Structure 1
Amino acid sequence: MPYLPSGFPDGAWLPDVVVELGEVFAAAGFELSLVGGPVRDLFLKRTSGDLDFTTDATPDEILATVEGFADAHWDIGRDFGTIGIRKAGTTLEITTYRAEAYDPSSRKPQVQFGDSLEDDLLRRDFTVNAMALRLPQFELVDPHGGIRDLFARLLRTPATPQESFSDDPLRMMRAARFAAQLGMNVADEVSQAMTEMAPRLEIISAERIQVELVKLINGAHPRTGVDLMVETGLADVVLPEIPALKRLDDEHARHKDVYQHSLQVLEQAADLETDDDGAVPGPDFILRFAALMHDVGKPKTRRFEPGGGVSFRHHDVVGAKMTRKRMQALKFDKNSIKAVSHLVELHMRFYGYGEQDWTDSAVRRYVTDAGDQLERLHRLTRSDVTTRNKKKAARLARAYDDLEDRIAELKEKEELAKIRPHLDGQQIMEILEISPGPQVGKAYKFLLDHRMEHGPVEHDEAVALLKEWAAQNL
């Protein structure tokens, strides 16, 4: 793997295929540059997951140039000037110099091919992504001060922010995403333009917004990204439930700041993610997004009580419905929607444990209701403790330690993850001599409830219980 020349961080390198591709294009008489994120990541000493190139060759010329070099190619992005290839197991994307502009009423870019690298870089989103490495000679091209801004941790745009965000409004979401991923600050003029132009996000497809939101939430500094979205008004378009928490401020301090609490829970949940071989490998979008959304039902359920207190009864149930609706609007897949909304609905289930004795039945139901989200629920519940009262925090931590210990003990004795009724549907029909139908379901539910309440029983006892129940209910 070739190491880069002086001027780059010690040990910075690129895969051989990058240099080989540059030589292929040079031999064919075309310019080729590595561009954007991969160049930025070289200076951050990070390995980039993408290898993007830009060239003066047209899509047809790109295809002709890589013929015989690429192991495979695809042209699904041809209308946008992009050709993808695979070489020695590495995926590369090559795009003709271009300039994109959005029609104010359209979600689709109007593609215009350019004729120089400098013009191409001018149209890119941020200066830190507007750097290129000419190949194969390794010449760095940085006309907009990307390196300076990168080390200053500052997000600026090559053109004016208004021009940049007009070309592609999704870039405003990318600003928040880069703030979350790289811990960067946003230049004042960029923040101002985001605030002025936030409504332009409405023309962007939900699918594209979803991709940026996931990257933001999974970033190293998700709180920073969410806060920037709220402060600039992007969240009013993308995730209005979160700024609504900020508007829940109570000038009489009868309840805590729900917005800041939610951001802290998000941070604490991320801190509780485990290593790649652990129960909840990070970054885990499901856990983090549930942490952010867990209290979104509070604005709709806030009630001022006669004694001066405040209640949020059933905010967990209301919040789960709101979360499901928002994720559907953002076109998330059904499994993600189910997992996040389920965690939001269950996040209050633990409270009260330690103040009252939980029966084995209650513990079984806690585990069974959590299902495959139990490990995430453990972490969400622990993250939801943000009190500054150290005694209260310690008491809740001890109580949850105790609950987890009881779950482990019951799991060992009863295989809680596999809880089923004492008898299955086929056995129920044979014992009661009935056909498939609602009666089987009722009998199944009775046996499952008995299993939850009393634990496992022997087969003969289960048969007797079923017959006794049937004599009174069928």
Structure 2
Amino acid sequence: MSEASAPHAADRRELTAAQRNAVAELLRVSPVADELGRRFVRAGHELHLVGGSVRDALLGRLGDDLDFCTDAHPDETLRIIKGWAESIWETGREFGTIGAQRDGLRLEITTFRAESYDQVTRNPVVVYGTSLDEDLKRRDFTINAMAVSLPEHRFTDPHGGLADLSAKVIRTPSTPGESFGDDPLRMLRAARFAAQLRFAVHPDVHVAMTEMAADLDRITAERIRDEFTKLLCGADPITGLRLLVDTGLAERFLPELTGLKLEIDEHAQHKDVYEHTLTVVENAVSYEEEGCDFILRMAALLHDVGKPATKAVGSDGRVSFHHHEVVGARLTKARMKAMRYPKEVTAKVTALVALHLRFYGYGRGEWTDSAVRRYVADAGDLLPRLHKLTRSDCTTRNRRKAAQLAADYDALEDRIARIAAEEDLARVRPDLDGNAIMELLGVPPGPVVGRAWKHLKEQRLEHGPLDRDAAEAELLRWARAEGLIS
């Protein structure tokens, strides 16, 4: 060993010892794990804290969910924890997992696995293993293939996960090709961990992700959706998104994102719409007040997906994307439906995409109070998110222009607040309800009431609140014009 490399090696040994001590200390102050370990040992079985729990303990962020593995089969695990656990659930029993709760901690105890895959649907075929080493070898990444045996706190790291954790590298225990061949979803998980932990994937992993991207087609939309959601909600979603595009994985389930690389921005301020979009996502994250707002992040990611289909070049050479928000909303709805997102989530993201351009033009002084009311009414409970999305969409490098856009939006928010103080903008309703409409017109429930209600709402948006007499007069005027009364 050279003199130059010796200090580095010493530092690595010190770091390893410090991190091992951190695991022991975290377990010491969490006696539930040791209690559980002693119960398994008394029953003649092993118990090990594994996977993300060990990784997070080493990172100093161990939470309330603990993962364990054991040589005990589910029936034996149930016998060991019965009378000790405060509650028990068996929803994961077919995969060898028994869940339990104790002292506010959620515990999942899984029998050693040596699972194989059917190589068609890539669904796991659970086969119980016989050793900890066998179990760790089948895990997705080395940083998730470490264990702490209980109750003695013996640390096991057969694949160099601790070194990879220190180096912030995502690597597989076996070759990447073997690991991804077992379960192609692991390619998406690699991008997800890159986003969550701010880690880089090992070059060999990157190559395998690129070469095997098409294998992701065998994975169900629901599993892809869940991993992608976690990626987008990561601490650094941009790193994960770039990895999806660069390896070709995005093309398999979110081709609209890759398609943005082909289009230049109409203001020619960015390399392409793809780079602009990543900046908007980054900006949106900075506006979050607490935790991940998936709806805001997804709207930021998809807000310009309609541009490729609406690109036009004028006679003066300028590029435009007229009505791309309308096309984008349609594409967003279709893509999120294909990814099996819930209807209510899809509806909110789609609405934000459709509304994201509405603000532009406000600075020209053309908006009346009526236009402001419609802006608020159309956004509904999405208004706070629409504020954030619109501000995030300002990515111009022109400082004067950026300052003007910010000032314009400040003015709009102030104007909304002023009008809201005078009117109930949060609940824009007609000044007469359905019962009043039926009583005044002498009609039963039906389409006429709906039409009248819609007309009065339009009047409310256009002119603001009407008193009772004015509202009734307007309703009667409308009914005469419609031939409903004489």
Output the TM-score relative to the length of structure 2. 0.92
- Residue in 2 aligned with 1:226? 241
Q: Is the contact between residue 122 and residue 184 of structure 2 (CA under 8 Å) also seen in structure 1?
A: no
Kindly indicate whether residue 466 of structure 2 is the aligned counterpart of residue 451 of structure 1: no
Q: Is the contact between residue 266 and residue 319 of structure 2 (CA under 8 Å) also seen in structure 1?
A: no
> 3, 14, 19: which is aligned to 2:34?
19
**Gap regions ≥5 residues in structure 1:** 275-280
Shift of residue 63 of structure 1? 1.5
Q: Deviations over 1:80-139 (max 9, x none)?
A: 111111223322111111122222212421112111101111110111110100000111
- Give the alignment of 1:313-462 within 5 angstroms: 313-462=322-471
Q: Deviations over 1:48-86 (max 9, x none)?
A: 352110011112221222222222222222221111112
| Distance across 2 between alignment mates of 1:150 and 1:424 | 62
How many corresponding residue pairs? 465
**Gap regions ≥5 residues in structure 2:** 1-16
Report the CA distance shift for 1:28/1:371 in structure 2 as closer, same or farther (over 3 A): same
Report the CA distance shift for 1:325/1:214 in structure 2 as closer, same or farther (over 3 A): same
- Residue in 1 aligned with 2:124? 109
Q: Is the contact between residue 254 and residue 310 of structure 1 (CA under 8 Å) also seen in structure 2?
A: no
> 256, 260, 263: which is aligned to 1:241?
256
Q: Deviations over 1:442-466 (max 9, x none)?
A: 2111111111111111101111111
Shift of residue 166 of structure 1? 1.3
Moved more, 68-77 or 36-45: 68-77
Shift of residue 394 of structure 1? 0.4
SS in 2 for 1:69: coil
| Distance across 1 between alignment mates of 2:68 and 2:211 | 33
Report the CA distance shift for 1:253/1:445 in structure 2 as closer, same or farther (over 3 A): closer
| Distance across 2 between alignment mates of 1:457 and 1:171 | 60
- The amino acid that maps onto 2:301 is L
| Distance across 1 between alignment mates of 2:95 and 2:264 | 46
Q: Deviations over 1:168-210 (max 9, x none)?
A: 1111111000010110000010001111111111111111111
Report the CA distance shift for 1:97/1:445 in structure 2 as closer, same or farther (over 3 A): same
- Residue in 2 aligned with 1:8? 21
- Give the alignment of 1:258-273 within 5 angstroms: 258-273=273-288
Kindly indicate whether residue 173 of structure 2 is the aligned counterpart of residue 164 of structure 1: no
Kindly indicate whether residue 72 of structure 2 is the aligned counterpart of residue 57 of structure 1: yes
- Residue in 1 aligned with 2:49? 34
SS in 1 for 2:21: coil
Moved more, 431-440 or 409-418: 431-440
| Distance across 1 between alignment mates of 2:71 and 2:270 | 60
Across the aligned residues of Structure 1 and Structure 2, the Cα RMSD in angstroms comes to 1.9
- The amino acid that maps onto 1:367 is V
SS in 1 for 2:242: helix
Q: Is the contact between residue 121 and residue 130 of structure 1 (CA under 8 Å) also seen in structure 2?
A: yes
SS in 2 for 1:331: coil
SS in 2 for 1:358: coil
Report the CA distance shift for 1:61/1:227 in structure 2 as closer, same or farther (over 3 A): same
Shift of residue 412 of structure 1? 1.1
SS in 2 for 1:445: helix
> 119, 133, 148: which is aligned to 2:134?
119
Q: Is the contact between residue 148 and residue 154 of structure 2 (CA under 8 Å) also seen in structure 1?
A: yes
| Distance across 2 between alignment mates of 1:469 and 1:122 | 75
Shift of residue 32 of structure 1? 0.6
Moved over 4 A (4+): 249-256
Q: Is the contact between residue 100 and residue 167 of structure 1 (CA under 8 Å) also seen in structure 2?
A: no
- Residue in 1 aligned with 2:213? 198
SS in 2 for 1:70: coil
| Distance across 1 between alignment mates of 2:125 and 2:212 | 20
Shift of residue 167 of structure 1? 1.4
| Distance across 2 between alignment mates of 1:95 and 1:254 | 53
Moved more, 426-435 or 25-34: 426-435
Moved more, 435-444 or 37-46: 435-444
| Distance across 1 between alignment mates of 2:86 and 2:269 | 65
Q: Deviations over 1:268-311 (max 9, x none)?
A: 0000111xxxxxx3311000010001000111111111221111
Moved more, 376-385 or 415-424: 415-424
Q: Is the contact between residue 22 and residue 58 of structure 2 (CA under 8 Å) also seen in structure 1?
A: yes
Shift of residue 422 of structure 1? 1.1
SS in 2 for 1:140: strand
SS in 2 for 1:33: strand
| Distance across 2 between alignment mates of 1:50 and 1:302 | 49
SS in 1 for 2:384: helix
Q: Is the contact between residue 39 and residue 132 of structure 1 (CA under 8 Å) also seen in structure 2?
A: yes
- The amino acid that maps onto 2:91 is I
Shift of residue 225 of structure 1? 0.4
- Residue in 2 aligned with 1:311? 320
Report the CA distance shift for 1:95/1:255 in structure 2 as closer, same or farther (over 3 A): closer
- The amino acid that maps onto 1:77 is G
- Residue in 2 aligned with 1:178? 193
Shift of residue 366 of structure 1? 0.3
| Distance across 1 between alignment mates of 2:362 and 2:25 | 53
Q: Is the contact between residue 122 and residue 130 of structure 1 (CA under 8 Å) also seen in structure 2?
A: yes
| Distance across 2 between alignment mates of 1:215 and 1:252 | 32
SS in 1 for 2:127: strand
SS in 1 for 2:235: coil
Output the TM-score relative to the length of structure 1. 0.95
Q: Deviations over 1:120-162 (max 9, x none)?
A: 1111011111010000011110111111111111000000101
| Distance across 2 between alignment mates of 1:399 and 1:418 | 25
Choose between structure 1 and 2: higher helix proportion.
Answer: 2
